[in-house]
Amino acid sequence: MNLTTAFGKYALPVFGKALPTMGETERAALQAGTVGFEGALFAGRPDFGRLLSMAPNRLTEREQSFIAHEVRQLNAMLDDFAIDEAHDLPPEVWQYLREHKFFGMIIPEQHGGLGFSHYAHAMVVTRIATVNIAAAVTVMVPNSLGPAELLLHYGTDAQKDQYLAKLADGRELPCFGLTSPYAGSDAASIPDVGILTERDIDGRMVRGFNVTFNKRYITLAPVATVVGLAFQAVDPGRPEGSQSLGITCALIPVPTAGMDIGRRHLPMNSAFMNGPIRGDNVFVPMDWVIGGEANVGQGWRMLMETLAAGRAISLPALGAAMQQTALFVMNGYGQIREQFGLPIGKFHAISALLARTAVDLYATDAARRYTAAALDAGERPSVASAILKVHLTEAGRRAVTDGMDMLGGKAIIRGPSNLLGVAYRHAPIAITVEGANILTRALIIFGQGAVRCHPHVLDEMAAVQAQDPQALGLALRAHAGHVLRNLWASLVGAPLRGKPPAGLEKEAQLIANMSAKYALTADLAMGLLGGKLKRMELLSERLGDVLSALYQASASVWRYHVEADEQMLPLARAAIRVQLAQGARTLRGIYANLPSAALRWSAPALLRGTRRLAPLRDHHLVEIADDLRNRTRQLTNLCPDVGTPKSGGLCDLMEALRLAEAVRDELPMLNQSLRRTHSLEEAAQQARDPSAALAYLRAADRVIQVDDFPR
């Protein structure tokens, strides 16, 4: 027996106790998807050559045409306030969505769909969401986790032939029932049960399941014509202890005997369709199981594998839309609204809100675009998807909240002229659904990352499970070398792998250094706490937050490289440094809370250099806000997806900003004259072109006014 095998044999019982226990559902979640650049960050070895080799986002001519025409036309049909009041989309909008196959973006052309890329899919949802979130959710759900995605990957040929073309053109509207009243975040423990049985149908005995279920929070349920359902399959004919077959996914047409569907939930009183689904002894023939009898019990694996991609698209698109809309509104309103004789956007307190939103948006949208490019390259990055879901939706909430603060009284008066009120009400929905952020941040990003992204932990777990001392010894030897390399890099500086874009060399070096410190910290935390770390959620979420900051900073390097716009360099630098400053603060918080005095004492040496990563200084914030006002290309680059609605406050703001261009150099004089005369007409007479000036002043007045209603 060699030394490596002997060490592995000695370590087997120790690691068997230290490593967390893992059930089959958890194993399926951990093994879902692939590992991308986030794995290199977790290992402390980011290679910028590899990062920059990721192709830029591209649209086909057909995708470009769809966004330029069909999406633009759809947005022109959407009145945010009217839809919110009606609690539904207008009939003509539903019809338009069906006719132009908005529900079939992910379905290939050979099955009657549009066959769009992940990037195009995300862009469509984002552009709709900047105008009306309810319409975006309605489009988003059939193209996200649900029947179409599951059928494409796991359905039988007969099931694909039966459903895909009808799902694509809206003849069938799908929903998917997973969440139950007693199984929310712990979705794998769904109590809904299907008992294997046989039933006589038209003189023929048909195998299937009698399923009793109670689902809630199901988007599109009230209007669905086919229900995707997850349930626990049980075979009572098996011996005691082996009757559970596992989570199974099936498709149930509406109506089906025993199924009750059609009532509504009103998430934050929103207009998109959502409601409960209940069933009592609903017979589900084996042909309705997605993939047929061979896929009975495979539902959780199927869901986790599809979620690895879907979670990176839909809800991050909503978060990006909220950020872009908020920044566009803040910047535009800041130029039109005056107080104390100045546009409010020039006040430094407002400038800070604008700049922080812009810097946040650059980094989060860089991560979203990079991940979409990875998906289109064939990757299925499950950890990165979780990062996007948490941080894009949180950034959307921050942006809308800051926008509400800036708008003041204008923000809180309900009506067609309100600019952000509906989005403000919607923000918690994106935070909560498809894995609540508090859970995803505390358990999934690092919990999954520690196993999937670490270069050696998965090998160690496999060796322990197989009781293979030689494999464990080899994995531990490699792991020890990994720790020593990152210890050295943390103390003296990490090597810079690959060539970053010109102008971001220092930022790339900072990313490399922090990646090494993070990798070492993760190993120290896992080595010290073992399986207990899984239950120490505050430490786990901090470890996930540092990985998230590194991922967004790295994506910002990639974004600057592929856009090749030197005008955006200050914003790219700011975005990277803000993410790294947040990561550094979080690293210090990890060491401050580790239950080891020795590690707390060693923290200053291991984290050397991180205190110099200060947040943006005041003059940087003011300069960024000034650039947003004066360099229209910057705002266009940050907010490319903001669409034009049918009517309402956003439409009024766009019109006022358009008309302002004709009198831009006269705006201070016009506003001063208006304060003196209190007359739009008299103030306009002072301009070179009174008609252009009056058109602008009237449009600006519409933006400033709020709505009132009869008593």
Task: Give the 3-state secondary structure of residue 205.
Answer: strand
Task: Give the 3-state secondary structure of residue 214.
Answer: strand
* Alpha helices (runs of H) in 381-468, residue ranges in sequence order: 382-407, 409-412, 421-432, 437-439, 445-452, 457-466
Q: Taking the mean position of all CA atoms in its chain, how far away is CA 316?
A: 3
Beta-strand relationship, 204-219 and 259-261: unpaired
Torsion of CA 493, 494, 499, 501, to 10 degrees: -60
Do 221 and 227 form a contact (C-beta atoms < 8 A)? yes
Angle at the Cα of 367 (from 366 to 373), degrees rounded to 5?
90
Q: Taking the mean position of all CA atoms in its chain, how far away is CA 473?
A: 39
Of 126, 119, 121, nearest in space to 106 by CA: 121
d(CA 396, CA 391): 8
Three-state SS annotation for 256-321: CCCEEECCCCCHHHCCCCEEEEEEEEEEEEHHHECCCHHHCCCHHHHHHHHHHHHCCCHHHHHHHH
Beta-strand relationship, 342-343 and 244-253: unpaired
Do 522 and 483 form a contact (C-beta atoms < 8 A)? no
Active site residue 434: yes
Beta-bridged to residue 275, according to DSSP, are: 218
Extract the tokens encoding 648.
């309402």
Spot the catalytic one: 26, 394, 434, 460.
434
Do 326 and 649 form a contact (C-beta atoms < 8 A)? no
Beta-bridged to residue 251, according to DSSP, are: 228
Of 255, 99, 249, nearest in space to 177 by CA: 249
Residues 6+ positions from 507 with CB-CB distance below 8 Å? 500, 553, 557, 572, 573, 576, 577, 580
Do 190 and 178 form a contact (C-beta atoms < 8 A)? yes
DSSP 8-state symbol, 219:
E
d(CA 664, CA 673): 15
Angle at the Cα of 148 (from 145 to 151), degrees rounded to 5?
105
Q: Buried b / exposed e across 292-320, counting CB within 10 Å, b at 16+?
A: eeebbbbbbbbbbbbbbbbbbbbbbbbbb
Torsion of CA 78, 82, 87, 92, to 10 degrees: -40
Report how far apart the first and last C-alpha atoms of the chain are (Å, whole number). 89
User: Would you name the residues annotated as active-site residues?
Assistant: 434
